Structure 1
Amino acid sequence: MTIATDRPRQQKPLSVDEFLACYGSDNRYELIDGEVFDLEPTGLHEEVAAFITTKVCVQIDGIGLPWFVLQRGLLRPSNSGMTAFRPDVMVVDRTELTQELLWPDQSILTLGSSIKFVVEVVSSNWQNDYARKVEDYAALGIPEYWIADHAGLGGTRHIGKPKQPTLSICTLVDGEYEIQQLRGNQTIVSPTFPGLKLTAEQVLRTGG
């Protein structure tokens, strides 16, 4: 994820409303503290997001939960006027949508209570995924957050040394995330989807 450069150069921090006016129809951008970022949806990035979406949808359907998967919808925290995240994958609870005032007209969520599970697939600006979003998603009360670093781009403090593809499973405990790093054939244990039978390598694998 990089700062957007292929649009008119940003001269000042944008509000969410200004961001929506300029970028709202293009789901490759998000806004963090008034700064516009390009999500860099490369083919490999999309493969990882699509694989996770497919597996999660099977779990939702099998259990019969009133949830659905939203890809690249906006998450606009209600306490911020200059941030609108665009997670790669969000699992949304239909029963909570009556509290979402923007939802009937726009693909925008504002409440963490509407979201059961969220995924970010890491691109070049990995700092937002490993730092800012860990804090903000926890503050919103989102129970489970995956950071899928298929290219091993994150800093060594986050994925170790030598760098390698890593799946970080962040589970909310007492308002903060406990983070487990998985690699290779290590098995995923998901509190939200205990029926998942996957390894980190299966999630992070790209290119066929």
Structure 2
Amino acid sequence: MNQAQAETKLYSFDEFISGYPENSEVRYELHDGVIIEMPKPKGKHSNLAGSLIEQLLITIRQIGKGGIWTIPRESIVKPQRESAGYEPDIIVLNKEVLGAETRWENESIIQNPESVKLIVEVVSTNWRDDYYNKLRDYEEMGIEEYWIIDYAALGARKFIGDPKQPTIFVCNWVEGEYQMNPFTENTPIVSPTFPQFNLSAQQIFALAL
């Protein structure tokens, strides 16, 4: 072990939260006890996330959940492991059960899977976080639906094929584990949580432009 490794401090979730700066220009996440600086989404990533939020809000109203399901500007998800904490690109929350979240009002922290209807992560260069760490932790929590939007085809070939192609995975929580359903090109997205969401994978990718 070199000196840099020996000096690396590992943080608990509560230590991470207590030191989180207010009004920061960047986001931070806790990965295996290490605080990681996550630059706020820019360019295509930001376009896609922002436009997808608009589409999801339209669908929420269509299924009669307007005012009940909400998409907050910021939130931090606390997995079961004490050494992790994530700020999703998009999270849909059920306000009917948010009252049970003891840390929501003061810290914007989500701990209970019942509060979450959907989490969406838009894949960046740190694609392993979305395909491995977050998938594992959201699955372990019991988050009922998790989308991985790999619009730039950055993930491993074992996930998105060879040659690589832009892919959306809709991960549904069934009997304690995720079923990963891939969608590409003009295939319409099939979402148990949002049955009236009628955009195809390609239409979602186009939101980044």
Structure 1-normalised TM-score? 0.88
How far, CA to CA, are the matches of 2:44 and 2:55 in structure 1? 17
1:206 positional shift: 4.9
Please tell me whether the aligned partners of residues 113 and 140 of structure 1 are also in contact (alpha carbons under 8 angstroms).
Answer: no
Please tell me whether the aligned partners of residues 167 and 204 of structure 1 are also in contact (alpha carbons under 8 angstroms).
Answer: no
Gaps of 5+ in 2: 1-6
Spell out, residue by residue over 1:125-158, the C-alpha distance to the aligned partner (whole angstroms, 9 max, x if none).
1111111211211121111110011111001111
Please tell me whether the aligned partners of residues 187 and 201 of structure 2 are also in contact (alpha carbons under 8 angstroms).
Answer: yes
- State the AA in 2 paired with 1:48: L
- Sequence identity percentage: 38
Gaps of 5+ in 1: 1-9
Please tell me whether the aligned partners of residues 71 and 87 of structure 1 are also in contact (alpha carbons under 8 angstroms).
Answer: no
The alignment yields a C-alpha RMSD, in angstroms, of: 1.7
1:171 positional shift: 1.1
Please tell me whether the aligned partners of residues 45 and 208 of structure 2 are also in contact (alpha carbons under 8 angstroms).
Answer: no
- State the AA in 1 paired with 2:8: Q
- State the AA in 2 paired with 1:58: I
1:14 to 2:11 alignment: yes
Please tell me whether the aligned partners of residues 46 and 208 of structure 2 are also in contact (alpha carbons under 8 angstroms).
Answer: no
Please tell me whether the aligned partners of residues 184 and 201 of structure 2 are also in contact (alpha carbons under 8 angstroms).
Answer: yes
How far, CA to CA, are the matches of 1:46 and 1:112 in structure 2? 26
Spell out, residue by residue over 1:62-114, the C-alpha distance to the aligned partner (whole angstroms, 9 max, x if none).
2222110124410012x332211111001101111111001121211111111
1:37 to 2:39 alignment: no
How far, CA to CA, are the matches of 2:64 and 2:207 in structure 1? 30
How far, CA to CA, are the matches of 1:82 and 1:175 in structure 2? 21
How far, CA to CA, are the matches of 2:9 and 2:175 in structure 1? 37
- State the AA in 2 paired with 1:51: S
How far, CA to CA, are the matches of 1:89 and 1:167 in structure 2? 15
Please tell me whether the aligned partners of residues 150 and 204 of structure 1 are also in contact (alpha carbons under 8 angstroms).
Answer: yes
Which residue is 2:47 aligned to? 47
- State the AA in 2 paired with 1:15: S
1:166 to 2:163 alignment: no
Which residue is 2:99 aligned to? 98
Which residue is 2:194 aligned to? 193
Spell out, residue by residue over 1:164-195, the C-alpha distance to the aligned partner (whole angstroms, 9 max, x if none).
21111111111111111111111111110010
Summarize the alignment of residues 99-138 of structure 1 with structure 2, pairs less than 5 Å apart.
99-138=100-139
| Equivalent of 1:76 in 74, 78, 96 | 78
Runs of 4+ aligned structure 1 residues displaced above 6 Å come to: none
